[in-house]
Every structure is written in structure tokens, then in C-alpha cells.
Structure 1
Amino acid sequence: MTKPPEPKPLLHDAEKPLRSRAHRRRDPEQPNLPFDPMPDRVEPCLALLKPRPPKGPQWAFEAKWDGYRLAVHIEPSGVRVLTRRGHDWTDRFPAIAAEARRLPVATAILDGEAVVFDERGRSDFGRLQQSLGGRGGKRMSGEAVLMAFDLLYFDGRDLRQTELTARRQLLEGLVPAGGEEAIRLSEEIEADGDVLLRIACEHGLEGIIAKDRNSTYRSGRGGEWLKIKCIQSDGFAIVGYEKSTSSFGGIGRLLLAARKGDELVYVGGVGTGFNGQSAAELREQMDKLIIAKPAVDTGWKRNAVFIDPKLVAEIEYRAWTHDGKLRHASYKGLREEQDSADLFNIDSRAPSG
């Protein structure tokens, strides 16, 4: 992967300063240009899942990060770190908040993803969760890094109606490339989308993001941003588990459900991806939610324990079977109840081949 090219100087002779002509002095009675009000919160722009990268010069590409979406508000009164659903997690990301206070800007809103890296430099959702004390934990994460990829407000100006290229230029001036601090730039990568996706998958990354350079910032999943994954990963409700005496936490397999319309439907199980700690924490939470009858029809299951489907697990999987079950599934962790706990909608599933 290559770094984006250095910006070209405005003048051929960089030693000569660029000077403008003198203008008439401003009338002191003339009012100052008013600042744009700073939004208290911005609903994030979300990436639309696509099977292949788009073509065309208007598309910019970045790595897809596997963590928690955050908005960092730098305000005159201090710094706030907000999750995707607007929960204030400033105290849980002290290193990110401290770095935000050091940025050379009076007011700003940075959009990015909090991640924790593994030994190979890949973002690891499970490690991020462990650094926060697991689902529902209250621990502070000193390891988390914000990979900043957009700038929504800057020194009194709302940038959401400004095209992505201009927002990125301002962001790169605020968060330079190649830094090692708690806030780092998610760099654009100059490459063909298909080639970049192949390289990302070979390096064990989750996938890539494509963004329309000419687009404004629009909340929701409007198609200005696209995500192309190497391995599918989505949220599924845990409706029970099968007990096992030879597995971590006594969990042989989790029983999973997806949303279909207003109902939940059974989509199979997952029995890999656990370690001793994650299985023990999961078993403790599941055993608080035991119910007598299953919330969905799972068919006959041996040694099954059914639970109220309030826990949402992040599951990696390769494909779907012809009868609508997950193939080659692996458990990644629990999503927070109040954040990023969207269930996969089976109506949006592509047909299995």
C-alpha cells in the first residue's frame, strides 16, 4: 500500500511568500462574519455494504477499522467523546480526550473509529472490548487510538455541506499522517479498489471503505460511503447456548438469531472464537437471562439453555447455507447494549450460491 502523494506547493518558487493586494480597512461598524453554531451531536454517516469496490476517479479508499465509532467534540468548555448513539464516553477514552485537548484548534468535531491494534498492527475488536472491561464494563482504555477520517466542524465553521476533498485537506492539516499519538489520521490510499481489497484481505484486515470525494456529509446510509469486506461480520442476537463440559465456560455453541421484519429468526450457531476469559464473562451474563421457552424456534437442541435475546454478539462468517444458516462462523465479542447493537436484517442478505 502506498501513502497518498504530498500536496503540491501553490507556487513554483516556494521561497517567495504569497502576498495579496492591500484592501480597504474594514469598517469597525460592520458586523463580524457570524460563526456557525456547533452541533451538540451529529448522527454519523454510515457505509453501505457492497460486494465489490466501485470504479471511477471520484472514489477515495481507506482501510476499514474494526472498533467503536466515535465523535470527538473539541469545545471552548472542554472535550467530549461521544459514541455512535450519543453516549458520553470521555472518561472511558482518557488518552484520546487528552490528545484532543492538545490539537491546535479552538473548536472542532472529529469523526473516527476507536481501535486497539494487535501485534501485527491490525485493529482487533475483541482487544478493544477487553481494554474497556468487556461488555457493560466501566474500565478506561489507555490503549485505544482514534483513527480520524473526517472533520465535521472546524474553528467555528460547520463543514457538513463542504465536499469530502476539502474536509480531508483540513483534517490532514490538523492530524498529520504518520503520527503515533492517540489520535491518528486514517490515510487515503492511492490504489485501484480491487487491488487494494485483495491486499487488505491478504494482510488479514476486515476490508476497505470507499468514499465519494465530491460528497457532502450526510447522516445515515445514503451510499456516499461504501464498505467492502473480506469476511462478513454482523450483529446477531444470542437466543441460547448448548452446554459442554469440554469447552471454555461450558459453552459448546451459541444459538443465534437475526431480524426478519419485526421478528427474530434462527440462523444457526457458533462454537469457535472464545477464550477462557471471554467465555466466562459471556456465560455469567447469559445465565442472568435464562428463560423457560426459546424466544425463537431453534429446532430440537441437545443440552440447550435458552435466554432472553438481549445480548448482541458480533459474529464473523464466510457465507450462508441454502437454508439460511451461517457458515464458518466465529465469535468476536459482545456489542454494547446502548451502542452499535444493530441486529443483522436477513431481508438484506444476498442469495447464497
Structure 2
Amino acid sequence: MTKPPKSKPLLRDADKPVRSRPRKPRDPTQPNLPLDPMPARIEPCLALLKSKPPKGREWVYEIKWDGYRLAVHIEPTGVRILTRGGHDWTPRFPTIEQAAKQLPVATAILDGEAVVLDEQGRSDFGLLQQSLGGRGGTKTSRNSVLFAFDLLYFDGHDLTRMDLSERRHILEDLMEGATGAIRISEEIDADGGQLLASACEHGLEGIIAKRRDAPYRSGRAGDWLKIKCLQSDSFFVVGYEKSGAARGQIGSLLLAARTGNDLVYVGSVGAGFKERDVLELRNMMDKITRKTPALEYNGQRKAVVWLQPTLIAEIEYRAWTDDGKLRHASYKGLREVQDNAAVCEIE
């Protein structure tokens, strides 16, 4: 059984605890509202990447989870679990489906992140992919947990026009005491800089900043911001360099980002691979080889096998070099087509 996340050290410093704001009791005299039709799908609100946390009392923070974004639809006919791209992955998350059925609500849409936790309680993207059978796999993940961070629809009412603070109030009531496959992503009322430093110290991916008074708006409207301890983005795999000494003969992967309608070479990655990654990659890459590169390439690498730009890899890196290449890159895994991952765009 996966251990619960060890979040307590993150919520306090040497002097005083940092906690979520206390919830106010719900008003029993609140009038009943007319019912809203339940939407088949809501495009997710996405976070803009920033280098530093914003300042001001209008911002509140959460831990950034490293997994797959999911929307859990609880309906009278059952539960649907949709990926960010709108694909139905209900059969792949049976424990989350069962946990959703146990929630005390007739209709709801939860917004959250499905993760697999390591022994330290940190989300691990590689472990999640392994539990699903890798990219294109068909396994069911029975050790994944959904950390719910928003509630978009509740008991016949559309909540997207409400402020985040109001949506969180209802979500916290709904999720009170939940410790199974669906848990609440804790809201942390703290100094953003201190929280980011603490998150990085504990080996987490970063933090999310959200405006308290913002409605739920689809796309990257700037109401949500993400600040990472290490940078990571998604890139096309456009080729690989052969190596007779490496497992699967893969010395490194050649990566590309978008620039307008074209692709641009941004360097390679030769670190972070596990044995199962190499075998999976080689099996897929052998099916998409091509004779010429899919972009302009002036590099000096030898024994390069060029590929159709269909595989999208999640890459962690420290910085960009002056000539537009990734520095200290490390492979994290392949993104699913259904996850609708956005490939990094550069000028």
C-alpha cells in the first residue's frame, strides 16, 4: 500500500505553522438555486509557467502534482473519468472510479491530478506511467491517487462562475475526511517564496499559485500560475543517436520544440532512462523511422536514426544554453496522446 504524502514538514517552519484558512459554516438559509444542465465536458483551466511566485493576499498556493490531469464526472448513470484531451479513461483508474462513487453527492465534476506516490509521498510521473503499462499501454492503475483541487459542478449547479474561494469551500465540505483514492489537494495560505523553497527542499516538482477571487476559466488565462523547482517541458523526439555500448543501442534522443509551424532542434537527452524505458522506446521508434530529418539540422552527431515527430517526451532540465539548447536534460517519460500534452514553443 502506498504511503500517504508526508506533507506536514512542508506546512510549518521553525516558528509557526502554515495552514489553510479555517472554513466557515455553510449558511442553512441560503436559497435554493435553479438547476444547471450538467456539461458533457469542461475544457480545463491551465497554469502559466512563471519563474517566481506572485506576491499579494489575492494569491493562494498548492503543491504541484506530477501526473495526469483528469476530470471526474459523477453522474446518475455512473462515473466518467476524462483526460485533459477529453478521452474516456474510466477503465484505467478503477480505484478512483470506486472512490468517486462513494462520495456523498449525486452529480459533480472534480478537477484534479492522478498520481502515483513514491515511498516519500512524492508524486512520480515514471511510476504512474509504469502502473498504466507505458505509453500506449492498456493496464489499469490500481495504486494511483487523484488529488482533487477544484469542483466545477455540484448537485445540479454550475460552479465555474463562482470565485475559487467559494468553490474550494464546497469542495472541502465534500472531501472532508477522504483518505482513499481521491483526496483533496491541500490549499496552503503562505508566503509563496518560502513555500517554493520548502517544496524544492523536499524534492517536490514545484507549486501552483491561484487567484482567490477568480472564476474557473478554460485555457491559460493567468488565474493559475506554476512555479517549478526544476524546469520541465514536452518535446518531440525527432531521432536517436546509436550507441553499441548502450542498452537497446540508444545513446541519446534528439529533441525538437515548436517555433510557429516549424520544428527547431533543441539538443538531446541521454540521462534518466530506465531499462524498461529503453526497450519500450526502441520498439516504438523502429516503427516510425525516416530517411531524412523532419527539421533543419546542422549538428555533428553520427549514426543518427531519424524519426517521424510523433513521440512526445517529458524532459526535465536545468536551463537553456545561449544557442537555444537544453542544459542538463533528463528523460522523465513519454506523454500519452490522450493527455493532450502541449509541446514546448519557443521564439
TM-score normalized by structure 1?
0.90
The equivalent residue for 1:24 is none
Alpha-carbon offset, residue 296 of structure 1: 1.5
Alpha-carbon offset, residue 183 of structure 1: 0.2
SS class of match (2:38)? coil
1:48 and 1:293 mapped to 2: Cα distance? 35
RMSD of equivalent CA atoms: 1.7
Instruction: Give a deviation string over 1:43-82, Cα, whole Å, max 9, x none.
Output: 0000011111011111010000010000000001110000
The equivalent residue for 1:114 is 114
2:53 and 2:249 mapped to 1: Cα distance? 41
Call closer, same or farther: CA 1:70–1:192 in 2, change over 3 Å. Answer: same
CA contact (8 A) 2:61 2:189 kept: yes
2:229 and 2:100 mapped to 1: Cα distance? 32
2:325 and 2:217 mapped to 1: Cα distance? 34
The equivalent residue for 2:7 is none
SS class of match (1:314)? strand
Q: Which of these two proteins has the greater Rg computed from alpha carbons? A: 1
CA contact (8 A) 1:248 1:275 kept: no
The equivalent residue for 2:248 is 249
SS class of match (2:278)? helix
1:228 and 1:341 mapped to 2: Cα distance? 18
The equivalent residue for 1:145 is 145
The equivalent residue for 2:203 is 204
1:175 and 1:124 mapped to 2: Cα distance? 23
Matched residues, percent identical? 64
The equivalent residue for 2:131 is 131
Structure 1 residue 218 corresponds to structure 2 residue 225:
no
Alpha-carbon offset, residue 120 of structure 1: 1.0
1:5 and 1:219 mapped to 2: Cα distance? 26
Alpha-carbon offset, residue 5 of structure 1: 4.4
CA contact (8 A) 1:313 1:332 kept: yes
Alpha-carbon offset, residue 249 of structure 1: 2.2
1:315 and 1:224 mapped to 2: Cα distance? 25
Call closer, same or farther: CA 1:317–1:19 in 2, change over 3 Å. Answer: closer
For this pair of structures, how many residues does the alignment match? 329
Alpha-carbon offset, residue 8 of structure 1: 5.3
Alpha-carbon offset, residue 244 of structure 1: 1.2
The equivalent residue for 1:105 is 105
Instruction: Give a deviation string over 1:191-233, Cα, whole Å, max 9, x none.
Output: 1000000011111111100000000000000000000111111
CA contact (8 A) 1:236 1:257 kept: yes
Call closer, same or farther: CA 1:9–1:339 in 2, change over 3 Å. Answer: closer
Alpha-carbon offset, residue 190 of structure 1: 2.3
Correspondence list, 1:223-238, <5 A: 223-238=222-237
**Corresponding residue to 1:7 among 23, 28, 33:** 23
SS class of match (1:346)? coil
CA contact (8 A) 1:176 1:184 kept: no
SS class of match (2:126)? helix
Amino acid corresponding to residue 267 of structure 1 in structure 2: V
1:7 and 1:343 mapped to 2: Cα distance? 39
Alpha-carbon offset, residue 186 of structure 1: 0.1
Unaligned residue ranges in structure 2 (runs of 5+): 1-9, 12-18
The equivalent residue for 1:67 is 67
1:293 and 1:171 mapped to 2: Cα distance? 52
Structure 1 residue 88 corresponds to structure 2 residue 88:
yes
1:170 and 1:94 mapped to 2: Cα distance? 25
Unaligned residue ranges in structure 1 (runs of 5+): 11-17, 21-31, 348-353
156-165 vs 238-247, greater mean Cα deviation: 238-247
SS class of match (1:338)? helix
Correspondence list, 1:29-68, <5 A: 34-68=34-68
